[in-house]
Amino acid sequence: MLESPLALLLAAAVFIYGLLSRKTEQAAFTAPMLFTTLGIVVGPAGLNWLTLEISGDGLRLLAELSLALILFTDASQIERSHLLKFEILPIRLLAVGLPLTMALGALLAHSLFAGGWLLATLLAIILAPTDAALAQAVFNKKDIAERLRHSITVESGLNDGIALPVLLFVLALLAGSHQGDSGNIDHLHWLVFISGQFLIGSVWGLLTGRAGGWLSETAARQQWMTPLYQRLSAPALALIAYSGAESLHGNGFIAAFLAGLFLQSHHTRVIERLKEFGEAEGQLLSLLIFFFFGLIFVPDALTSISLNALLYALLSLTLIRIIPVLIALTGSGLPLKARLFLAWFGPRGIASILYLLLVMDQLGFTQPQFHELFTTAVLTVLISVYLHGLSSRFFHRL
């Protein structure tokens, strides 16, 4: 594997982008844009230098690892004391904006595509969560108000965990409808399942963050733990949170985010080391996801683009996101410019790719309406990578 052109290409791309990273970020040419473009150029959609067969399970594992680590690291950078001052904003975005986004997305998808309400709802859910990796483009911009940056981070950190149980429920309804037994869905079971996802994920994540941070700090103070393993604690704790919650039938993404948010340590250097390594590892994994997305997903989608798919992708990134967020923020006291910023900056990325992999695994894409869903989702993520990446430079002094 390491002697293959793929390994050389990826290593060279990371190194060269790193050399110019400050300049490219100032020009709003983000790393996800580069790696998506690279995957498209060298793959079947471009020069056809590289063809790669990777199982859906392999990509799904990579996406889960990447998302869990990004959620943990991003959450660990949030000051909880500061967040309490404006927690109403992410609550509005998650409790009002997210359901309205799903509902509006399903309504427009049903009017544009012929797959029925369940398939339309499935597409809307896949594209509802915002992306934590792409949201990093604004997290470190100090000229954007902290409450806006943190609201985006909390929203992108929790909305994929909130949407996942709903996605699984709609998948079960869709599978049942194709087998002719949609009326036999046990709604009580699903109510218990969804409640358990939130409760177990939240409790396990909080305990992991509190205990993991305290143990790391104690070991560091007693000089039992070297700086190297302080850094390695970040991916370890993120995986403990994610995998532990999933093993207990909870929501791993919520657990990973809350573990980072409640990371308990007063040892500043320990926390810095956790963040440094976790951020680097999470970034590397996310770049691999975007490369494989451009290499494998995009060529298949480009062969079957329709006008309706393009129209829905554009609507998903604009009106389907903007209208619900503006409704959710009504009465929040934010100036119009700040509300428009939160409404616009809803990039789609790794969470949507992961959800798409789950749907592909369950449904396959032998039927035309399923492949149309795949094409529309891929096109939406592809446009978002470039559109939101380029637009980040225009937001300042908010």
CATH of the domain at 247: 1.20.1530.20
| CA angle, 339 then 343 then 347, to 5° | 145
| CA angle, 269 then 271 then 275, to 5° | 115
Please, what is the end-to-end C-alpha distance for the chain in angstroms?
46
DSSP string, 10-79: HHHHHHHHHHTHHHHHHTT--HHHHHHHHHHHHSTTTT--------HHHHHHHHHHHHHHHHHHHHHTS-
At 128, the pLDDT band (50, 70, 90 cuts) reads: very high
Give 349's DSSP letter: -
Show Cβ contacts of residue 323 under 8 Å, excluding neighbours closer than 6 positions.
Answer: 100, 104
- The CA–CA distances, whole Å, from 206 to 113, 128, 212 equal 42, 25, 10
Q: Does 236 reside within a domain? A: yes
pTM assigned to the model: 0.86
The percentage of residues in the chain with a pLDDT greater than 70, rounded to a whole number, is 82
Q: Which domain holds residue 153?
A: 53-394
Instruction: State the total domains in the chain.
Output: 1
Task: Work out the widest C-alpha separation in the chain, in whole angstroms.
Answer: 64
Q: Does 6 reside within a domain? A: no
Calpha distance 106→113 (Å, rounded):
10
pLDDT at 83 (0 to 100): 59
Calpha distance 316→321 (Å, rounded):
6
Give the mean pLDDT of 260-280: 66
AA identity, residue 79: E
Q: Is 294 exposed, middle or buried (0-12, 13-18, 19+ CB in 10 A)?
A: buried
Give the mean pLDDT of 96-114: 94
- The two tokens of residue 192 are 């218990």
Give the mean pLDDT of 93-106: 94
pLDDT at 127 (0 to 100): 95
Chain mean position to CA 36? 16
Asked whether the predicted pLDDT for residue 328 surpasses 90, the reply is: yes
Q: Does 25 reside within a domain? A: no
Q: Which residues of 202-233 are buried (b: 16+ CB within 10 A; e: fewer)?
A: bbbbbbbbbebbeebbebbeeeebeeeebbbb
Instruction: Identify the helix (H) or strand (E) that includes residue 215.
Output: helix 187-221
Q: Does 34 reside within a domain? A: no
Q: Does 115 reside within a domain? A: yes
Asked whether the predicted pLDDT for residue 143 surpasses 90, the reply is: no
- The two tokens of residue 171 are 């998948």
pLDDT at 81 (0 to 100): 62
Q: Does 301 reside within a domain? A: yes
Asked whether the predicted pLDDT for residue 53 surpasses 90, the reply is: no
pLDDT at 112 (0 to 100): 94
Give the mean pLDDT of 217-221: 80
Give the mean pLDDT of 12-31: 77
Query: Is residue 301 within 8 Å of residue 312, measured between CB atoms?
Result: no
